[in-house]
């Protein structure tokens, strides 16, 4: 087990985790979406529009494109999609289900997969984007091929440039490697001018970020 270690390779790969979470938060802000394609059924009583055969929603303001085999939405309230792909300029999120709530600005995903030219094979059972708080939580079989990560839970705070790995984990980035085998194991990655990682997590940081993990 190693702590407080950094390298140029670690800097590149650690920053990719921050980029992924930033995309997730940006992707959740469907500030002005429109239907590009797909059959629509509007329920006049509820105001809910259903696209039973799927379709495409676009948000040109944020450069986002949501595709799904089934989509349901209500203006200024929610968007739900199955077998969804969320495309942005920095990469693509795929999920078996996606739900965005305008109130509270929360993006919930299940069966999460992320891909880009820089990040390979990032997956998790579920994800939560807390847009107002600039926090992304990934939970359940969190995996990444590059950097090499296996974890139960990953919490990323883009406002403070921090990521917390919780529970049993293994993490390898360049010459740095870390492993935790206990339920209370933790690894803190901080994205500074030279990103660092340590298993000695300050109590206040651990408590704050762990509280977000409990929301998923």
| pLDDT tens-digit series, residues 143-182 | 987 678 899 999 988 788 888 999 999 988 766 788 999 9
pLDDT band at 7 (very low <50, low <70, confident <90, very high): very low
**Residue 193 vs residues 2, 10, 12, 22, 75: alpha-carbon distances, Å:** 20, 12, 11, 18, 41
User: Considering the entire predicted model, what is its pTM?
Assistant: 0.80
CATH number corresponding to 8-29+105-213: 2.60.450
Residue 136 β-bridge partners? 129, 156
The per-residue pLDDT for 21 is: 54
Question: What residues does each domain of the chain span?
Answer: 8-29+105-213
Q: What is the mean pLDDT of the chain?
A: 81
The per-residue pLDDT for 116 is: 66
């Amino acid at each position: 087990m190693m702590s407080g270690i950094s390298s140029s390779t670690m800097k590149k790969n650690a920053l990719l985790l921050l980029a992924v979470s930033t995309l997730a938060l940006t992707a959740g802000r469907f500030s002005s979406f429109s239907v590009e394609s797909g059959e629509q059924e509007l329920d006049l009583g509820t105001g809910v529009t259903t696209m039973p055969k799927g379709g495409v929603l676009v948000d040109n303001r944020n450069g986002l494109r949501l595709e799904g085999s089934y989509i349901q939405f209500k203006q200024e309230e929610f968007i739900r999609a199955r077998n969804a792909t969320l495309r942005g300029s920095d990469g693509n999120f795929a999920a078996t289900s996606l739900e965005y709530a305008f109130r509270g600005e929360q993006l919930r995903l299940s069966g999460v997969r992320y891909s880009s030219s820089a990040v390979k094979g990032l997956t998790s059972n579920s994800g939560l984007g807390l847009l107002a708080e600039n926090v992304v939580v990934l939970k359940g079989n969190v995996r990444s091929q590059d950097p090499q990560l296996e974890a139960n839970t990953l919490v990323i705070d883009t406002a403070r440039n921090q990521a917390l790995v919780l529970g049993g984990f293994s993490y390898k980035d360049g010459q740095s490697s870390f492993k935790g085998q206990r339920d209370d194991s933790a690894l803190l990655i901080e994205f500074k001018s030279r990103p660092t990682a340590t298993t000695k997590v300050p109590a206040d940081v651990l408590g704050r970020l762990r509280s977000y993990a409990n929301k998923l």
